[in-house]
Amino acid sequence: MRILGIDPGLGTTGYGIVEKAENELLLITYGGISKSPVADFSTNLLAIYQKLHQIINEFHPHCCAVENIFYHQNKKTAIIMGHVRGVAMLAAAQNQLPVFEYSPKEVKLSITGLGAASKPQVQAMVKNILHMSEVPRPEDAADALAVAVCHHHRSKILGLHKNSPALIKPSSKNPLKKFIKNI
């Protein structure tokens, strides 16, 4: 099973793909999609969508895991994050990838065993789990890889695997598929 993890961000949206092979988890790719300081908000959203669409078409993940918005006191920031998440989820849905959502606490708990783990703790565990020589950069990419690894752990618990009905692409009779194509 190949999993695309996404960490929606205001400045950089992180992505990472991992794949279950035999008894280990392999790192396929990771990186960050940085916003342009000169482009307007809608152009930056389009750039995020286009890059994620490109990544999905190049690496063919079976599913997508996205970090949920954490509670934020700044309502404007939360709304902007919601837009970025929506674009990421749309890119996955248009490619008929099932989307799974995890809270930051769930991700931290899954990766480190501690729901209140620090960013450096999560990054160090991602590095170890994926047998990387160094901590992934940018930080948003490390977070995206953590989301993908979290989904891998959760999918084992939930019994999801490559041929599971939850991971099979929607049929052509699915009204959501028709709606998405018309967007």
Q: Is 141 exposed, middle or buried (0-12, 13-18, 19+ CB in 10 A)?
A: buried
Give dist(CA 81, CA 58) in Å, integer.
26
Q: β-strand 63-67 against 24-34: which pairing, if any?
A: unpaired
| C-beta neighbour count of 177 within 10 angstroms | 16
Q: Which residues contact 26 (CB under 8 A, 6 or more apart)?
A: 18, 19, 20, 130
Given a contact cutoff of 8 angstroms between Cβ atoms, the answer to whether 7 and 148 are in contact is no
Residues annotated as catalytic (active site), given as ranges = 7, 67, 140
Calculate the CA dihedral of residues 18, 16, 152, 53 and round it to 10 degrees: -100
Asked if 118 and 142 touch (Cβ cutoff 8 Å), the reply is no
